[in-house]
């Protein structure tokens, strides 16, 4: 069935069955591959996107539930000043290793800083607990969020 | 192993218009240079007419840093800034891009990427510099010795020009036989902590392309329905329910009957259609054992005489020394099966070109594996097979399969089609966790005798587990006299001076498919060695650091001295013995892959209500640290990988079927699990050694020793959760 999505500021018409996870529409239909498939059960966070500015796991978000939402993916999150600050911090600190989880890490980090401009270490650890990184770049993710917070404060 | 060579011509960036300078090596290892029109070899460095310098990186990038490290070597020698060099991954060519430590085999593993590329890529860069300088000297009528290259600019007296001006002339020159390498005192990039990764920006903004991101026109997605237990054979299927899934194409039993390939128009349709497929299995040859039975076989083997006397010890004498000792410390260890679980589930895409070539798009860790296998499967000569190596979302050893398991699976799923549509094989996380290729389960039994002075008088050590290397192309290199060195590495070659060491090994029968897992045998040998050292020190009433140093006291042995040096540095930086009230420390030090790493883990809390890992302090000696920040990142990651698994992870089997499915029951390390990691690098003038793996081995025993110091609890069976230990 035809569905209309508002994604990254544009309107897209896609052909997908109800029950299709948003993840696969983004990746396979819209060919936006920055949003990653990691586990399919909302346990790793690699597929994190924003719905109306809130991070959600797109592998467990169904296409029929997001027709009225503003969807933002990693490809456009840098257009916003918080997203740009996080991406700048990620480069400054060389947070990434394999990088496969990092789109999701950045999307969650932007979600955190959007609601909490100066998160404590404990608040970072709690908020980011659902984003797995098998390379264990966590120390730099934590530092990256703190650095982005400083960039935004300056 | 016979490996056919490929022809050149598969570089991703086709030669740009105008002259291009290529510098590489001939199959005999001699440096070679040519313009793009005449080259008959694959290069290490390519300089376009516009001066764009590209490093052709022969190792794949799974996060461990060769896409930064190898360009650093070339940029250093030519005289470039890091923003003046690009990189691309090498095509498959086992004659030119082989790992120099693997023979004629192109592949990444054993923490060797930098160690084996160090001189090769520096020489290629130095040759390019010398040719550009000679071309400039001729053009300007000056002596070559008066010409320099700094930050991509060629200078001589008052003359100055970009390197682009000399590419055409340089490409007509012969490669120098022995280009002069830069004096390490003049290094600007090598060893510079300010050098940044080349792949950071694209990995933070979604632009990085992994194999999972391949979308070829008209491609099909293939997923494989596999038996519940390994060894089951597909004999037929009913896809009537799959046909209800929109986007389902068809299904077919794989030629080797290992499963049923399900084809669909997109990934979600493939997932649903595979779920709906009913398969008839012949399970008569399938694994039926529980992991408890596999464990029992291993533990039984530890009680019998070992098959191999690894170090040709006088076992009776060692046994007698221990019997006569004042104190004996004895422990029996068990290490479970572990999955690698790289973040990007395994996948690859195959297409056939109009010319009949087969192209594999893959985060390829060992391109020579699929390259050889595909010659058989497709009945094609090597030059008709291309491998496009893409960024890989982690591996930890899983992508380095000598039998090219998933690439062969993709080829079988492709070869049975009419080949008009590319086939992208996609694994889900459940496929990844449940489909074998695990770190083998191992058992150790160690008995250490101490005299009245608290000195070791005998150390009897028996190891039992399934060999990783036997039956692989690496057997000839790693297995000697029946002993798979990877089963006993870290004990057999430990720098510790231990009197009366007897090391035995027994291979146990094949339990499942096994594979090297970040740091291979050191995953279990370091844990045993380093927790036993602590128990022995405790029995002797000696400080664990002092006790270790007493076994590293030979001033004439650089191996002992380097190991002692990281031990001292880590303890100094950690404030050994000065932990705040309520905290405990544990130490471990281990040599692996040529590198020496010591780690101090500091914890708070208690085992029952929860242990908090407050800090890990690490010291590493990896020779010259080419990219120090990458070295630090690899230590941070290696520590997290080691600790994450011993805390709570294991793969178990019930009636041959894997009990775990996905991350909820194979829980990854999370951000709150380790509060801080502090890495220190020992300055060194030695050639670079490995960093991808050596951070892992000491991490688990250092944590275990901290818990023992806190509570007296010694955990000889992993994961730690099995001992009633919880973490917060």
3-state SS string over B87-112? Answer: EEECCCCCCCCCCCCCCCCCCCCCCC
B391, B426, B461 - which closes a domain: B426
CB contact under 8 A, A96 and B203: yes
- For chain A, the structural domain boundaries read 2-76, 77-153
Question: Which residues, other chains included, contact A100 with Cβ-Cβ below 8 Å and sequence gap of 6+?
Answer: A36, A38, A46, B210, B342, B343, B344, B393, B394
Does this complex have an ipTM over 0.95? yes
Question: Which residues, other chains included, contact A79 with Cβ-Cβ below 8 Å and sequence gap of 6+?
Answer: A9
- Find tokens 């020009």 and name the residue: B161
Q: Which of B215, B394, B676 minimises the CB distance to A134? A: B394
**Are the CB atoms for A9 and A76 separated by under 8 Å?**
yes
* pLDDT(B712) > 50: yes
pLDDT at res. B473:
82
Q: Is A117 in CB contact (< 8 Å) with chain B?
A: no
For an interface test with A, the pick among B61, B195, B205 (most A C-beta atoms closer than 10 Å) comes out as B205
A99-143 confidence digits (pLDDT tens):
999 999 999 999 999 999 999 999 999 999 999 999 999 999 999
Classified as helix, coil or strand, B717 is strand
For the ranges B102-116, B384-398, B518-532, B645-659, which has the lowest average pLDDT? B102-116
CB contact under 8 A, B668 and A44: yes
* pLDDT(A12) > 80: yes
Same domain for B538 and B674? yes
Q: Is residue B324 part of a domain?
A: yes
> What would the mean pLDDT of B15-36 be, rounded to a whole number?
79
Task: Select from A25, A24, A46, A39 the least CA-distant residue to A107.
Answer: A46
Same domain for B619 and B472? yes
Q: Is A74 in CB contact (< 8 Å) with chain B?
A: yes
Q: Is A136 in CB contact (< 8 Å) with chain B?
A: yes
Same domain for B486 and B543? yes
CB contact under 8 A, B670 and A138: yes
- Find tokens 């098998």 and name the residue: A134
CB contact under 8 A, A21 and B206: no
Identify the domain containing residue B191 by its residue range.
21-204
B693-710 confidence digits (pLDDT tens):
999 999 999 999 999 999
Q: Is residue B657 part of a domain?
A: yes
> What would the mean pLDDT of B145-151 be, rounded to a whole number?
98
* pLDDT(B220) > 60: yes
Which residue on chain B is closest to A139 by alpha carbon? Answer: B676
B327-383 confidence digits (pLDDT tens):
999 999 999 999 999 999 999 999 999 999 999 999 999 999 999 999 999 999 999
- Find tokens 């650095």 and name the residue: A147
Residue A7 distance to chain B (closest CA, Å)? 15
Q: What percent of chain B has pLDDT over 90?
A: 92
Q: Is A14 in CB contact (< 8 Å) with chain B?
A: no
State the helix-helix crossing angle for B699-711 and B522-540, rounded to 10 degrees. Answer: 30
Which residue on chain A is closest to B677 by alpha carbon? Answer: A139
> What would the mean pLDDT of B380-401 be, rounded to a whole number?
97
Q: Is A30 in CB contact (< 8 Å) with chain B?
A: no
Classified as helix, coil or strand, B334 is strand
Q: Is A42 in CB contact (< 8 Å) with chain B?
A: no
Q: Which of B268, B344, B676 minimises the CB distance to A28? A: B268
How many H helices and E strands in chain B? 17, 30
Q: Is A102 in CB contact (< 8 Å) with chain B?
A: yes
CA separation for the pair B671, A92 (Å, rounded): 20
Residue B326 distance to chain A (closest CA, Å)? 44
How would residue B76 be classed by pLDDT, with cut points 50, 70 and 90?
Answer: very high
pLDDT at res. B40:
74
Classified as helix, coil or strand, B693 is coil
Q: Is residue B8 part of a domain?
A: no
pLDDT at res. B12:
57
* pLDDT(B1) > 50: no
pLDDT at res. B635:
98
pLDDT at res. B37:
64
pLDDT at res. B5:
38
CA dihedral of residues B99, B105, B111, B116 (deg, nearest 10): -10
B397 — alpha (psi -120 to 50), left (phi > 0) or beta?
left
B246-288 confidence digits (pLDDT tens):
999 999 999 999 999 999 999 999 999 999 999 999 999 999 9
CA separation for the pair B109, B693 (Å, rounded): 9
pLDDT at res. B11:
63
Q: DSSP letter at B186?
A: G
CA separation for the pair B370, B378 (Å, rounded): 11
Residue B638 distance to chain A (closest CA, Å)? 8
> What would the mean pLDDT of B64-86 be, rounded to a whole number?
98
CA separation for the pair B218, B366 (Å, rounded): 28
B529-577 confidence digits (pLDDT tens):
999 999 999 999 999 999 999 999 999 999 999 999 999 999 999 999 9
> What would the mean pLDDT of B403-428 be, rounded to a whole number?
97
* pLDDT(B477) > 90: no
* Chain B hits for A33, Cβ within 8 Å: 206, 209, 212-213, 215
Number of domains in chain B: 3
How would residue B13 be classed by pLDDT, with cut points 50, 70 and 90?
Answer: low
Single pTM value for the model: 0.97
CB contact under 8 A, A98 and B676: no
Average pLDDT, chain B: 95
CB contact under 8 A, B345 and A125: no
Task: Select from B164, B198, B153, B126 the least CA-distant residue to B16.
Answer: B164
B168-185 confidence digits (pLDDT tens):
999 999 999 999 999 999
Classified as helix, coil or strand, B150 is strand
Q: What percent of chain B has pLDDT over 70?
A: 97
* pLDDT(B4) > 50: no
Q: For strands B53-57 and B308-309, give the pairing.
A: unpaired
CA separation for the pair A50, A107 (Å, rounded): 7
Q: SS3 for B494-541, per residue?
A: CCCCCCCEEEEEEECCCCCCECCCCCCCHHHHHHHHHHHHHHHHHHHC
For an interface test with A, the pick among B197, B200, B206, B616 (most A C-beta atoms closer than 10 Å) comes out as B206
How would residue B17 be classed by pLDDT, with cut points 50, 70 and 90?
Answer: low
CB contact under 8 A, B212 and A121: no
Size of chain B in residues? 728
Same domain for B246 and B334? no
Which residue on chain B is closest to A90 by alpha carbon? Answer: B204
Same domain for B275 and B322? no
Q: Is residue B16 part of a domain?
A: no
* pLDDT(B3) > 70: no
Q: Is residue B15 part of a domain?
A: no
Q: What is the sign of the dihedral through the CA atoms of A41, B410, B692 and B592?
A: positive
Task: Select from B228, B267, B608 the least CA-distant residue to B431.
Answer: B228
Same domain for B258 and B215? yes
How would residue B614 be classed by pLDDT, with cut points 50, 70 and 90?
Answer: very high
CB contact under 8 A, B669 and A94: no
Same domain for B280 and B298? no
Cβ atoms < 10 Å from Cβ of B309: 16
Residue A150 distance to chain B (closest CA, Å)? 18
Q: Is A71 in CB contact (< 8 Å) with chain B?
A: no
Q: What is the sign of the dihedral through the CA atoms of A40, A41, A46 and A49?
A: positive
How many H helices and E strands in chain A? 6, 5
Q: Is A24 in CB contact (< 8 Å) with chain B?
A: yes
CB contact under 8 A, B671 and A124: yes
Size of interface A-B (CB pairs under 8 A): 178
pLDDT at res. B605:
96
pLDDT at res. B141:
97
Same domain for B36 and B183? yes
pLDDT at res. A45:
98
CA separation for the pair A88, B201 (Å, rounded): 8
* pLDDT(B14) > 90: no
Same domain for B387 and B493? no
Same domain for B398 and B527? no
Architecture of domain A77-153: Orthogonal Bundle (1.10)
Question: Where would I find the H helices in B405-466?
Answer: 405-415, 429-434
- Find tokens 């709150």 and name the residue: B672
* Chain B hits for A129, Cβ within 8 Å: 670-672
Question: Which residues, other chains included, contact B720 with Cβ-Cβ below 8 Å and sequence gap of 6+?
Answer: B646, B647, B648, B703, B704, B707, B727
* Chain B hits for A142, Cβ within 8 Å: 671
* pLDDT(B446) > 50: yes
Q: Which of B205, B208, B676 minimises the CB distance to A78? A: B205
Architecture of domain A2-76: Roll (3.10)
For an interface test with B, the pick among A91, A136, A140, A142 (most B C-beta atoms closer than 10 Å) comes out as A136
* pLDDT(B623) > 80: yes
pLDDT at res. B2:
37
Q: Is B641 in CB contact (< 8 Å) with chain A?
A: yes
Domain of B637, CATH number, reads 3.30.365.10
CA separation for the pair A33, A75 (Å, rounded): 9
* pLDDT(B151) > 50: yes
Task: Select from B147, B504, B451 the least CA-distant residue to B314.
Answer: B504
* pLDDT(A62) > 60: yes
pLDDT at res. B28:
79
**Are the CB atoms for B667 and A129 separated by under 8 Å?**
no
> What tokens appear for A20 in the block?
């299709």
B485-517 confidence digits (pLDDT tens):
999 999 999 999 999 999 999 999 988 899 999
Q: Is B639 in CB contact (< 8 Å) with chain A?
A: yes
Q: Is A126 in CB contact (< 8 Å) with chain B?
A: yes
**Are the CB atoms for A73 and A55 separated by under 8 Å?**
no
Same domain for B193 and B226? no
CB contact under 8 A, A37 and B207: no
């Amino acid at each position: 069935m035809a569905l209309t999505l508002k994604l990254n500021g544009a309107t897209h018409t896609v052909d997908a069955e109800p029950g299709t996870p948003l993840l696969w529409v983004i990746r396979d239909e819209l060919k936006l591959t920055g949003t990653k498939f990691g586990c399919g059960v909302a346990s790793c966070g690699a597929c994190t996107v924003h719905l109306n500015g809130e991070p959600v796991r797109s592998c467990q978000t169904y296409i029929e539930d997001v027709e009225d939402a503003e969807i933002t993916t990693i490809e456009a999150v840098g257009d916003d000043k918080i997203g740009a600050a996080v991406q700048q911090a990620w480069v400054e600190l060389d947070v990434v290793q394999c990088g496969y989880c990092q789109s999701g890490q950045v999307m969650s980090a932007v979600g955190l800083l959007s609601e909490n401009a100066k998160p404590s270490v404990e608040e970072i650890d709690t908020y980011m607990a659902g984003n797995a990184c098998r390379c264990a770049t966590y120390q730099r993710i934590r530092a990256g969020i703190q650095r982005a917070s400083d960039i935004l404060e300056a | 192993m016979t490996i056919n060579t490929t022809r050149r011509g598969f570089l991703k960036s086709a030669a740009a218009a105008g002259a291009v300078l290529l510098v590489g090596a001939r199959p005999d290892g001699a440096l070679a240079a040519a313009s793009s029109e005449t080259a008959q070899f694959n290069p290490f460095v390519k300089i376009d007419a516009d001066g764009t310098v590209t490093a052709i990186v022969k190792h794949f990038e799974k996060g461990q840093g060769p896409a930064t490290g190898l360009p650093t070597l070339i940029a250093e020698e030519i005289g470039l800034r890091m923003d003046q060099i690009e990189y691309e991954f090498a095509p498959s060519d086992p004659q030119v891009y082989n790992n120099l430590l693997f023979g004629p085999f192109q592949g990444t593993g054993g923490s060797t990427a930098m160690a084996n590329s160090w001189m090769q890529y520096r020489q290629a860069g130095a040759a390019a510099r010398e040719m550009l300088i000679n071309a400039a000297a001729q053009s300007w009528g000056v002596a070559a010795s008066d010409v320099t290259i700094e930050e991509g600019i060629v200078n001589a007296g008052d003359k100055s020009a970009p390197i682009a001006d000399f590419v055409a002339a340089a490409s007509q020159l012969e490669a120098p036989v022995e280009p002069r390498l830069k004096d390490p005192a003049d290094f600007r990039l090598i060893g510079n902590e300010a050098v940044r990764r080349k792949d950071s920006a694209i990995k933070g903004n979604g632009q990085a392309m992994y194999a999972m991101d391949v979308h070829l026109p008209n491609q099909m997605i293939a997923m494989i329905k596999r038996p519940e237990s390994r060894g089951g054979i597909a004999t037929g299927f009913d896809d009537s329910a799959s046909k209800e899934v929109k986007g389902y194409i068809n299904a077919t039993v794989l030629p080797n009957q290992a499963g049923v390939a399900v084809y669909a128009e997109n990934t979600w349709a493939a997932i649903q259609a595979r779920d709906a497929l009913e398969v008839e299995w012949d399970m008569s040859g399938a694994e039926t054992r529980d992991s408890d039975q596999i464990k029992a076989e291993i533990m039984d083997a530890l009680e019998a005489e070992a098959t191999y006397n690894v170090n040709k010890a006088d076992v009776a004498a060692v046994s007698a020394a221990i019997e006569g000792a004042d104190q004996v410390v004895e422990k029996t260890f068990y290490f479970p099966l572990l999955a690698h679980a790289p973040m990007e589930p395994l996948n690859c895409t195959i297409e056939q070109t109009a010319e009949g070539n087969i192209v594999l798009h893959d985060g390829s860790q060992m391109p020579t594996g699929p390259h050889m296998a595909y010659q058989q499967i497709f009945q094609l000569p090597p030059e008709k097979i291309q491998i496009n190596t893409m960024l890989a979302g982690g591996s930890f050893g899983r992508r380095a399969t000598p039998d090219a398991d998933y690439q062969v699976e993709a080829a079988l799923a492709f070869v049975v089609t009419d080949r008009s549509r590319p086939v992208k094989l996609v694994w889900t996380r459940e496929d990844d966790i449940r489909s074998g290729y695990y770190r083998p389960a191992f058992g150790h039994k160690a008995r250490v005798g101490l005299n009245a002075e608290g000195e070791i008088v005998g150390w009897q050590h028996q190891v039992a587990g399934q060999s990783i290397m036997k039956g692989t192309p690496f057997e000839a290199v790693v297995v000697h006299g029946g002993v798979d060195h990877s089963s006993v590495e870290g004990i057999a070659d430990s720098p510790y001076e231990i009197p009366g060491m007897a090391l035995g090994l027994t291979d146990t029968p094949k339990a499942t498919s096994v594979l090297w897992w970040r740091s291979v045998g050191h995953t279990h040998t370091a844990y045993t060695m380093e927790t036993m050292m602590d128990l022995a020190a405790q029995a002797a009433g000696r400080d664990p650091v002092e006790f270790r140093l007493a076994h590293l006291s030979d001033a004439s042995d650089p191996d002992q001295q380097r190991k002692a040096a990281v031990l001292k540095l880590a303890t100094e930086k950690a404030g050994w013995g000065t932990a705040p009230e309520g905290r405990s420390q544990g130490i471990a030090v281990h040599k692996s892959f040529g590198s020496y790493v010591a780690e101090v883990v500091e914890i708070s809390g208690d085992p029952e209500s929860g242990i908090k890992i407050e800090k890990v302090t690490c010291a590493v000696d990896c020779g010259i640290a080419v990219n120090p920040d990458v070295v630090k990142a690899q230590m941070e990651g290696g520590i997290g990988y080691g600790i994450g698994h011993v805390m709570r992870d294991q793969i178990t089997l019930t009636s041959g079927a894997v009990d775990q499915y996905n991350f909820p029951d194979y829980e990854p390390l999370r951000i709150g699990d380790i509060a801080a990691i502090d890495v220190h690098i020992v300055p060194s003038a030695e050639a670079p050694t490995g960093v991808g793996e050596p951070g892992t081995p000491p991490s688990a025993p250092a944590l275990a020793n901290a818990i023992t110091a806190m509570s007296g609890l010694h955990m000889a069976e992993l994961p730690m959760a099995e001992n009633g230990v919880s973490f917060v």
